[in-house]
Amino acid sequence: MFGNWRFQRLPSAHPGVAFGARAAAVIAALVFTGIILAIAGANPIELAGEVIDSSFGSSFGLEDLALLFIPLILTGLAVTVAQQIGTWNIGAEGQFYLGAFSATAVGLFVPGPPALILVLMFVAGVVGGMLWILVPTLARAYANVNELITTLLLNFVAALLVYYVSTGPWRDRVGLANSATPRLSAEVPEFWGIVHWGLPVAVLVVIATAAVFTFSRWGYEVRLSGSNPSAAKYAGIPVRRHLITVMLLSGGIAGLAGMLEIAGTVHRLQGGISNNFGYLGIMVAVLARGSSIGVIFSAALMAFILNSGIILQTQGLTTSAVLAMTGLILFLTAIGDELSHYRITREKT
């Protein structure tokens, strides 16, 4: 407090202020990054031009951005959905893996026409993600076990399971991909270059989720249960049932991300297929600040940051430098989001 002036935190930020704060944070991060690159002997102007040209100057660059955007929007949405009822799904990485694992099992071992197999893979991916979050969900609902720990630990189990089957029992013994499964026969069709129909599907899932949470009675009860569980119970809202439903929905969305990555982008299961999309989804959700629609914009920002990192590595920068710059941008963006909630007010005397 300075004299009669003080900082006051508001529960919500004006959209224009929030956008301005985020834009200012990104610009500040880019300026700091440019200074660091200049000290290291690189030309930040040339590198920035290369990043922009490679990302937006050709259809190939835009297609790469879109393929990164698809899993990020779904894993970010998965974490955001769990936040609606006051929980944190840190296991989107594992659910992504299980969605990919389950979809691959169907694609490899279930006979049938490709269209039918694709539908079954879709269902298997969603169910796989739900099953992987089921134990943490029940532990939280009935024993109040912290879901942060249980969902996080299952990530490592899922990653090791996928690595085992893709290099062992399901390994491609005919082709050249010795550390991956055979190519799946059923694939999500492409509609623009190498970009598949998973992109509009992901956007529609976000819009549908936002509509349900905003306009339905169920969504209102879920949000009330997350903001004030005691009041929700007093009002007769089945908080435990909503908790289970929301967490299963969160896991299913992350599993869908894994299915689309398998069936639309990679076409075969292999270790490390997630590329940390599950963990990056946490950052997407944090930047979206609980808004399902906001996930679209934060996922787009994250996709651009990731793609920029890949381009910078081709220009000679080390992985550590790229990670440091990525972390700086995300850190300052998060600070900008938080500061957008504050106003300088004057106390009445």
pLDDT over 60 at 335, yes or no: yes
Please tell me the number of Cα atoms within 13 Å of 171 on its side-chain side.
11
Going by the DSSP 8-state scheme, the letter that residue 154 receives in this structure is: H
Give, in degrees to the nearest 5, the angle at Cα 179 between 97 and 104. 40
**70-82: pLDDT as tens digits:** 999 999 999 999 9
pTM given for the model: 0.90
pLDDT at 109: 93
**What is the mean pLDDT of the segment spanning 117-142?**
97
| pLDDT tens by residue, 138-182 | 999 999 999 999 999 999 999 999 999 999 999 988 766 678 999
Could you tell me the pLDDT band of residue 204, with boundaries at 50, 70 and 90?
A: very high
Give the pLDDT of residue 47. 83
Mean pLDDT of the chain: 88
Q: What is the pLDDT of residue 115?
A: 93
Strand-pair partners of 270: 180
In order of their start, the domains of the chain are: 43-316 (1.10.3470)
* Separation in Å, CA 97 to CA 9, 131, 165, 249: 39, 12, 12, 16
pLDDT for 2 equals 52
Six-digit token string for 149: 């720990």
198 Ramachandran zone, left/alpha/beta (phi>0; psi -120 to 50): alpha
Say what the pLDDT of residue 12 is. 67
The secondary structure of 291-321 as a DSSP string is: -HHHHHHHHHHHHHHHHHHHHHHHTT--HHH
Cα torsion 328, 330, 331, 335: sign: positive
- Confidence band for 110, pLDDT divided at 50, 70 and 90: very high
CB-based contact 271:162 (threshold 8 Å): yes
> For residue 261, what pLDDT is reported?
96
Q: What is the mean pLDDT of residues 48-62?
A: 86
